[in-house]
Amino acid sequence: MTLHLGYGTNGLTDLRLDDALGLLADLGYAGVGLTLDHMHLDPLAPDLTERTRRVGHRLASLGLRVTVETGARYVLDPRRKHGPSLLDPDPEARAARTALLVRAVGVAAELGAHAVHCFSGITPPGTAPETAWKRLTEAITPVLDAADRTGIPLAIEPEPGHLLATLADFHHLRGLLGDPPSLGLTLDIGHCQCLEEATPAQCVRDSAPWLRHVQIEDMRRGVHEHLPFGDGEIDFPPVLAALAATGYQGLTVVELPRHSHAGPELARTSIDFLRNAMTRGAIGTRKGGAPC
Query: pLDDT for 46-96, tens place per residue?
Result: 999 999 999 999 999 999 999 999 999 999 999 999 999 999 999 999 999
Task: Give SS3 for 60.
Answer: helix
Q: What is the mean pLDDT of residues 220-247?
A: 96
Instruction: Give the Cα separation of 285 and 289 in Å (integer).
Output: 8
Instruction: Give the Cα separation of 50 and 54 in Å (integer).
Output: 6
**Does pLDDT of 236 surpass 60?**
yes
Q: Is the pTM of this model over 0.85?
A: yes
Q: Count the Cβ atoms, other than its own, within 10 Å of residue 130.
A: 8
| Packing angle of the helix pair 167-177, 200-207 (nearest 10 deg) | 20
Instruction: Give the Cα separation of 201 and 216 in Å (integer).
Output: 12
**Does pLDDT of 289 surpass 50?**
no
Instruction: Give the Cα separation of 101 and 192 in Å (integer).
Output: 25
**Does pLDDT of 135 surpass 60?**
yes
**pLDDT top residue among 234 and 289:** 234
Task: Give SS3 for 167.
Answer: helix
**Does pLDDT of 284 surpass 60?**
no
Q: What's the half-sphere exposure (Cβ side, CA atoms, 13 Å) at 147?
A: 25
- What is the model's pLDDT at position 154? 98
**Does pLDDT of 286 surpass 60?**
no
The helix (H) or strand (E) run that includes residue 34 is: strand 31-35
- What is the model's pLDDT at position 287? 53
**Does pLDDT of 271 surpass 70?**
yes
**Does pLDDT of 291 surpass 50?**
no
Query: pLDDT for 156-175, tens place per residue?
Result: 999 999 999 999 999 999 99
Angle 247-189-266 (CA atoms, 0-180°, nearest 5)?
A: 105
**Does pLDDT of 256 surpass 90?**
yes
Q: How far is CA 20 from CA 17, 54, 91, 95, 124, in A?
A: 5, 15, 37, 32, 35
pLDDT band (50, 70, 90) for residue 283: low
- What is the model's pLDDT at position 215? 98
What does the domain layout of the chain look like in residue ranges? 5-288
pLDDT band (50, 70, 90) for residue 279: confident
- What is the model's pLDDT at position 2? 84
- What is the model's pLDDT at position 280? 80
**Does pLDDT of 226 surpass 80?**
yes
Q: Calculate the average pLDDT of the chain.
A: 95
Which residues, at least 6 apart from 187, have a Cβ–Cβ distance to it below 8 Å? Answer: 157, 158, 203, 204, 207, 211, 213, 214, 215
Correct CATH for 5-288 of 1.10.630.10, 3.20.20.150, 3.40.50.1220, 3.90.1490.10: 3.20.20.150
